């Protein structure tokens, strides 16, 4: 499937600024099942983009624009071909961070008794292998936790609701469910981390329509 994607971001300042700097994670990578045909970043003003990669292997573009500026507009656009690999990620640049790092607890992914109990239920219903553990976990999250619409706050990466609270409420936003998945996966000794992206679905007319950015947990499959 070939997808044409465009992201637009406009940052407005309360008062004009003399210099605006940003680090962008808006360039996808090519790997098995995903081929980036074309990709372009367009930024307001005259600036030079410095390309690098972070510790996760993601492509990063840093830039600075001199003002005075009342706002800055960023557009990322391109074409990507994707194939269904049943969720198995292969051929991507390796993370520079050891997998064990993604077994550590955070404020929102604590392994509380309730989270551990949920993890043990998942283990009991699976064959115990990593892939089936992930599939079983996803199935039970779908069956037992209601998915709410994305909170605009989480689009800035600042929403922090604990996995235990999401489990107790039996509902949560995409970011909440990702945190719950990660907490349970780590309780099953499966390294997992938080990633973000965009989802789209087919409207009744057959045309593709945009959906809000979604959050997915990134579990390691072997």
CATH of the domain at 199: 3.10.620.30
124-170: pLDDT as tens digits: 999 999 989 999 999 999 999 999 988 776 665 567 899 999 999 99
Q: What one-character-per-residue DSSP string does 166-191 give?
A: HHHHTEE-HHHHHHHHHHHHHHTT--
Q: What is the pLDDT of residue 198?
A: 62
Q: Do 45 and 142 have their domain in common? A: no
29-86: pLDDT as tens digits: 888 888 999 999 999 888 889 999 888 888 999 999 998 999 999 999 999 999 988 7
Q: Could you tell me if 186 and 105 are in contact, meaning their C-beta atoms sit under 8 angstroms apart?
A: yes
DSSP collapsed to 3 states, 24-77: ECCCCCCECCEEEEEEEEEECCCCCCEEEECCCCCEEEEEEEEEEEEEEEEEEE
Q: Do 34 and 109 have their domain in common? A: no
Provide the phi-psi class of 48: left if phi over 0, else alpha when psi is between -120 and 50, else beta. beta
87-137: pLDDT as tens digits: 777 777 666 788 899 999 999 999 999 999 999 999 999 999 998 999 999
Average pLDDT across the chain, whole number = 84
Query: Is residue 90 in a domain?
Result: no
Q: Do 78 and 169 have their domain in common? A: no
Of 212 and 8, the one with more pLDDT: 8
Q: Do 55 and 19 have their domain in common? A: yes
Answer yes or no: is pLDDT of 201 > 60: no
Number of domains in the chain: 2
Answer yes or no: is pLDDT of 211 > 50: no
CATH number assigned to the domain comprising residue 37: 2.60.40.2250
Owner of token pair 């087919």: 202
**Containing structural domain, residue 107:** 99-219
pLDDT > 90 fraction of the chain, expressed in percent and rounded: 54
Q: What residues contact residue 80 under an 8 Å CB cut-off, 6+ apart?
A: 2, 3, 5, 28, 34, 35, 36, 37, 39
Q: What is the pLDDT of residue 91?
A: 76
Q: Do 23 and 68 have their domain in common? A: yes
210: β partners:
200
Answer yes or no: is pLDDT of 217 > 50: yes
Answer yes or no: is pLDDT of 181 > 80: yes
Cα 183 from Cα 111, distance rounded (Å) = 6
**Distance separating the N- and C-terminal Cα atoms of the chain:** 26
């Amino acid at each position: 499937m070939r997808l044409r994607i465009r992201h637009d971001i406009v940052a407005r300042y309360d008062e004009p600024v003399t210099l605006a700097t940003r680090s962008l994670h808006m360039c996808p990578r090519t790997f098995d099942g995903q081929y980036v045909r074309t990709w372009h970043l367009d930024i307001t003003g005259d600036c030079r983009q410095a390309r690098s990669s972070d510790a996760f292997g993601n492509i990063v573009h840093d830039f600075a624009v001199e003002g005075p500026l009342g706002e800055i507009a960023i557009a990322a656009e391109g074409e990507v071909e994707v194939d269904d690999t049943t969720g198995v990620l292969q051929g991507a640049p390796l993370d520079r961070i050891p997998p064990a790092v993604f077994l550590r607890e955070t404020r929102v992914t604590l392994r509380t008794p309730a989270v551990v109990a949920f993890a043990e239920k998942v283990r009991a219903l699976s064959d115990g292998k990593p892939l089936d553990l992930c599939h079983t976990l996803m199935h039970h999250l779908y069956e037992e936790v209601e998915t709410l619409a994305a909170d605009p706050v989480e689009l800035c990466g600042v929403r922090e609701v604990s996995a235990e609270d999401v489990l107790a409420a039996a509902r949560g936003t995409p970011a909440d469910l990702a945190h719950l998945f990660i907490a349970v996966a780590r309780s099953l000794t499966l390294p997992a981390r938080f990633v973000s992206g965009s989802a789209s679905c087919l409207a009744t007319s057959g045309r593709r329509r945009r959906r809000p950015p979604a959050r997915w947990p990134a579990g390691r499959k072997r």
